[in-house]
């Protein structure tokens, strides 16, 4: 990331945020701004336009939400919103609204998410009562603008979040129409995970002298990432992260490990969860007194604790001799933070391992880190229950071997001899191994952790290129996909973006999840992930597309299709 203007140790207070917001951030356990926040907040607070390249996981939401709240002089007063955030999906609309609510509640900020599928009546009521921030998907926003129920006269800031995905979903025209309905002197903020030429086009047309923040410039430190550290990553759904961490720790059996979390809350929760699973974990974060921190460190050095769960701030400057493993419980918010973290092992010729848990939506951030460090971080399969059994067996074997070499077995002779009268020596040995094995392991978790796939756009882009006008499609749906039939086609004025918009708006799918689309005269066919097909069908029953209620079902006729 390029951040020339701001020093790397800047605090939230240095960024010029008002005291109420500083209190909120501290209560949330945010210890310091992420790099994108350091770079974006000061110019945004000054009212500058901004073009930012930022993936999920960088802290981009707070990077635009905090300045909007900072600049909001009288929340709760006006009727029309002062900020409009456009997002590609309903899922993101809810997330971003929640973030605004979290940060802005103390100021009395009224936030309204607006997306297709939600009852419009409630949205109309809320708009009438007055709102400060609207977070909307483009289709529904345009709908309200058309009905004049969304008054944009008082708008001061427009944010386009995940702009590349909005374009991908065919929202380009909608975005242009919405921007045309906003005041000329507004502040415009555009965040996008990638910056293809089409995004540059929007930026040129709609942003005034924007500050540019880009990721992926190799940092000086990046090149020094030490090769002695063995790096690996594991894709895992959020709900399974504590189990995945436990599994990895069991397999890796670190002498001492440091586990990095984002916030104080996360540190406290994870420490508790790991202690509950039988590990000896200690928390370390910026909210602790020096004396407490010293105590934690001495427990770690003395070996009475073997896991340190910490925030970046708290771990800065620590040098722990025994450290063998660094675990990133989340993908760090910037490549530089990753490099700092993994530099804590593999020092002075010692070998170390760095493990990173990656939620599917954070996969892109992992790729950014690879680009900056110029090292591949292989995504490995999480150990299975069988792997865990095998590893525990191996540990028992190693413990027995060590015991055999130590030659202090004399006192036990009498036990074996007395048993040998009645049992075979092999059987006696087996029973002893069983006892040793069972007494060494804590409670074994036997549940498999489901595999997940990264959320990437590449797959769908490929499919779309196969079907340039939405006219050609593979004979059978792509692997793992189901093909849905819609009774609306060209004659009803249906375009691919209408279908993508409806599906992404009404269901939990994002535009990226949707596969090939074909639009025929009287009907359309759309590929969606097999697992989500029923959900999509149910969701679209309630919906309207181009003012009409669609009939949606799984495509039945897989043989003699009459599609052309
Ligand atoms: P985002 O990239 O906006 O999706 O944010 C990723 C996650 O990081 C969210 O769960 C935020 O609550 C969290 N987060 C954002 N900023 C910070 C910060 N400065 N310190 C700790 N956590 C943060």
Out of 236-240, 269-273, 514-518, which region has the weakest mean confidence (pLDDT)? 514-518
Instruction: Check whether residue 353 and residue 241 sit in a common domain.
Output: yes
**Ligand 1 pocket residues where CB is under 6 Å:** 30, 33-34, 37, 56-62, 262-263
Taking 90 as the threshold, does the pLDDT of residue 138 lie above it? yes
What is the mean predicted confidence (pLDDT) over 40-56?
Answer: 94
Taking 80 as the threshold, does the pLDDT of residue 40 lie above it? yes
Q: Is residue 468, in this structure, part of any structural domain at all?
A: no
* Contact indicator for 276, 445 with CB cutoff of 8 Å: no
Residue 511 banded pLDDT, cuts 50, 70, 90: confident
Instruction: Check whether residue 355 and residue 280 sit in a common domain.
Output: yes
Which pLDDT score, from 0 to 100, does residue 121 have? 86
What is the mean predicted confidence (pLDDT) over 261-281?
Answer: 92
Rg value, the chain, Cα:
28
Domain end call among 172, 187, 215: 215
Q: Is residue 461, in this structure, part of any structural domain at all?
A: no
Question: From ligand 1's centre to the CA of 192, what distance in Å?
Answer: 16
Instruction: Check whether residue 334 and residue 396 sit in a common domain.
Output: no
Q: Is residue 466, in this structure, part of any structural domain at all?
A: no
Question: From ligand 1's centre to the CA of 37, what distance in Å?
Answer: 10
Q: Is residue 451, in this structure, part of any structural domain at all?
A: no
For the chain, what percent of residues have pLDDT higher than 90? 47
Sequence-distant (≥ 6) Cβ neighbours of residue 67 within 8 angstroms: 40, 41, 44, 45
Q: Which atom of ligand 1 is nearest to the CA of 263?
A: 21
More confident call, 138 vs 508: 138
Provide the Cα torsion 45, 46, 49, 52; round to 10°.
Answer: -50
Domain that holds residue 326: 221-380
Which pLDDT score, from 0 to 100, does residue 350 have? 61
Q: What's the per-residue H, E or C state across 404-446?
A: HHHCCCHHHHHHHHHHHCCCCHHHHHHHHHHHHHHHHCCCCCC
Best probe residue, ligand 1, of 1, 52, 62, 96 (max atoms within 8 Å of C-beta): 62
Instruction: Check whether residue 155 and residue 235 sit in a common domain.
Output: no
Instruction: Check whether residue 154 and residue 69 sit in a common domain.
Output: yes
Indicate the number of domains in the chain. 4
More confident call, 302 vs 282: 282
The CATH number that applies at residue 485 is 3.30.70.330
Which pLDDT score, from 0 to 100, does residue 212 have? 95
Q: Is residue 563, in this structure, part of any structural domain at all?
A: no
Residue listed under structure tokens 């009288």? 74
Question: From ligand 1's centre to the CA of 197, what distance in Å?
Answer: 28
The CATH number that applies at residue 18 is 3.40.50.300
* Contact indicator for 85, 64 with CB cutoff of 8 Å: yes
More confident call, 390 vs 270: 270
Residue 278 banded pLDDT, cuts 50, 70, 90: confident
Best probe residue, ligand 1, of 11, 33, 34, 58 (max atoms within 8 Å of C-beta): 34
What is the mean predicted confidence (pLDDT) over 392-403?
Answer: 88
pLDDT tens digits along 367-397: 989 988 888 999 998 988 888 888 888 888 9
pLDDT tens digits along 155-196: 999 999 999 989 988 899 999 999 999 999 999 999 998 888
What is the mean predicted confidence (pLDDT) over 413-420?
Answer: 93
Instruction: Check whether residue 116 and residue 166 sit in a common domain.
Output: yes
* Contact indicator for 527, 515 with CB cutoff of 8 Å: yes
Please classify residue 545 by burial: count the beta carbons closer than 10 Å to its beta carbon, then call 0-12 exposed, 13-18 middle and 19+ buried. Answer: buried
* Contact indicator for 161, 191 with CB cutoff of 8 Å: yes
Instruction: Check whether residue 242 and residue 311 sit in a common domain.
Output: yes
Q: Give dist(CA 388, CA 496) in Å, integer.
A: 47
Q: Which two tokens stand for residue 184?
A: 């000329």
Q: Which two tokens stand for residue 397?
A: 């074997």
Taking 70 as the threshold, does the pLDDT of residue 219 lie above it? no
Q: Which atom of ligand 1 is nearest to the CA of 30?
A: 20
Instruction: Check whether residue 65 and residue 210 sit in a common domain.
Output: yes
Please classify residue 563 by burial: count the beta carbons closer than 10 Å to its beta carbon, then call 0-12 exposed, 13-18 middle and 19+ buried. Answer: middle
Domain end call among 215, 248, 264: 215
Q: Is residue 448, in this structure, part of any structural domain at all?
A: no
Best probe residue, ligand 1, of 61, 92, 215, 362 (max atoms within 8 Å of C-beta): 61
Taking 50 as the threshold, does the pLDDT of residue 74 lie above it? yes
What is the mean predicted confidence (pLDDT) over 410-421?
Answer: 93
Residue 3 banded pLDDT, cuts 50, 70, 90: very low
Domain end call among 215, 249, 268: 215
Taking 60 as the threshold, does the pLDDT of residue 260 lie above it? yes
Please name the residue whose Cα sits nearest to atom 22 of ligand 1.
262
Question: From ligand 1's centre to the CA of 63, what distance in Å?
Answer: 9
What is the mean predicted confidence (pLDDT) over 423-442?
Answer: 88
Best probe residue, ligand 1, of 60, 262, 334, 455 (max atoms within 8 Å of C-beta): 262
Instruction: Check whether residue 356 and residue 392 sit in a common domain.
Output: no
Sequence-distant (≥ 6) Cβ neighbours of residue 445 within 8 angstroms: 243, 246, 247, 277, 385
Q: What's the chain's average pLDDT?
A: 85
Which pLDDT score, from 0 to 100, does residue 348 have? 58
Instruction: Check whether residue 101 and residue 200 sit in a common domain.
Output: yes
Which pLDDT score, from 0 to 100, does residue 455 have? 64
Instruction: Check whether residue 34 and residue 133 sit in a common domain.
Output: yes
Q: pTM for the full model?
A: 0.69
Q: Is residue 464, in this structure, part of any structural domain at all?
A: no
Residue listed under structure tokens 């930022």? 54
Instruction: Check whether residue 47 and residue 193 sit in a common domain.
Output: yes
Strand 517-519 and strand 524-529: pairing? Answer: antiparallel
Q: Give the other-Cβ count within 10 Å of 287's Cβ.
A: 16
Q: Which alpha helices (DSSP H) does 232-318 contain, by range?
A: 241-252, 264-276, 290-302, 312-315
Q: Is residue 456, in this structure, part of any structural domain at all?
A: no
Which pLDDT score, from 0 to 100, does residue 388 have? 85
């Amino acid at each position: 990331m390029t951040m020339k203007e701001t020093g790397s140790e800047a605090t939230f207070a240095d960024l010029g945020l008002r005291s109420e917001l500083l209190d909120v951030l501290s209560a949330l356990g945010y210890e310091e701004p992420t790099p994108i926040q350091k770079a974006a907040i000061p110019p945004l607070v000054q009212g500058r336009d901004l073009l930012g390249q930022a993936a999920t996981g960088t802290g981009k939401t707070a990077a635009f939400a905090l300045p909007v709240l900072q600049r909001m002089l009288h929340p709760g007063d006006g009727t029309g919103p002062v900020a409009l955030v456009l997002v590609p999906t309903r899922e993101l609309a809810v997330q971003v609204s929640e973030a605004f609510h979290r940060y802005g509640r103390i100021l009395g900020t009224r936030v309204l998410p607006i997306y297709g599928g939600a009852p419009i009546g409630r949205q109309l009521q809320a708009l009438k009562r007055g709102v400060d921030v609207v977070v909307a998907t483009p289709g529904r926003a345009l709908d309200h603008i058309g009905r004049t129920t969304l008054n944009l006269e008082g708008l001061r800031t427009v944010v386009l979040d995940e702009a590349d995905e909005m374009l991908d979903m065919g929202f380009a025209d909608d975005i242009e129409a919405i921007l045309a309905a906003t005041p000329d002197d507004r502040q415009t903020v555009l965040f996008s995970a990638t910056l293809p030429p089409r995004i540059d086009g929007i930026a040129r047309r709609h942003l005034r002298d924007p500050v540019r923040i880009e990721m992926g410039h190799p940092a000086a430190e990046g090149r020094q990432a030490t090769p002695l550290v063995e790096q690996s990553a594991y894709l895992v759904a959020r709900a399974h992260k504590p189990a995945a961490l436990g599994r990895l720790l069991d397999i890796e059996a670190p002498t001492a490990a440091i586990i990095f979390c984002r916030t104080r809350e996360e540190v406290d929760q994870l420490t508790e969860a790991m202690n509950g699973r039988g590990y000896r974990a200690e928390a370390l974060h910026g909210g602790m007194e020096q004396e407490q921190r010293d105590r934690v460190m001495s427990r770690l050095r003395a070996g009475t604790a073997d896991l340190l769960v910490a925030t970046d701030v708290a771990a800065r400057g620590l040098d722990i001799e025994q450290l063998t493993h660094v675990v990133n419980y989340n993908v760090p918010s910037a490549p530089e933070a990753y490099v700092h973290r993994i530099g804590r092992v593999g020092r002075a010729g010692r070998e170390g391992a760095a493990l990173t848990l990656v939620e599917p939506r954070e996969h892109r951030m992992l790729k950014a880190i690879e680009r900056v460090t110029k090292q591949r971080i292989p995504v490995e399969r999480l150990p299975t229950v069988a792997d865990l059994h095998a590893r525990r067996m191996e540990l028992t074997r190693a413990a027995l071997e060590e015991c055999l070499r130590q030659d202090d077995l004399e006192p036990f002779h009498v036990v074996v001899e007395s048993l040998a009268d009645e049992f075979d020596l092999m059987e006696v040995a087996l029973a002893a191994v069983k006892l040793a094995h069972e007494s060494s392991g804590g409670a074994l978790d036997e549940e498999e952790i489901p595999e997940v796939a990264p959320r990437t756009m590449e797959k769908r882009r490929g499919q779309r290129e196969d079907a340039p006008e939405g006219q050609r499609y593979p004979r059978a749906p792509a692997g793992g996909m189901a093909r849905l039939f819609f009774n609306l086609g060209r004659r009803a004025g249906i375009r691919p973006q209408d279908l993508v918009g409806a599906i992404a708006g009404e269901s939990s799918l994002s535009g990226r999840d949707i596969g090939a689309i074909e639009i025929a005269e009287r009907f359309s066919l759309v590929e969606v992930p097999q697992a989500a097909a029923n959900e999509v069908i149910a969701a679209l029953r309630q919906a309207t597309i181009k003012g009409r209620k669609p009939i949606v079902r799984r495509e039945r006729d897989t043989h003699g299709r009459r599609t052309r």
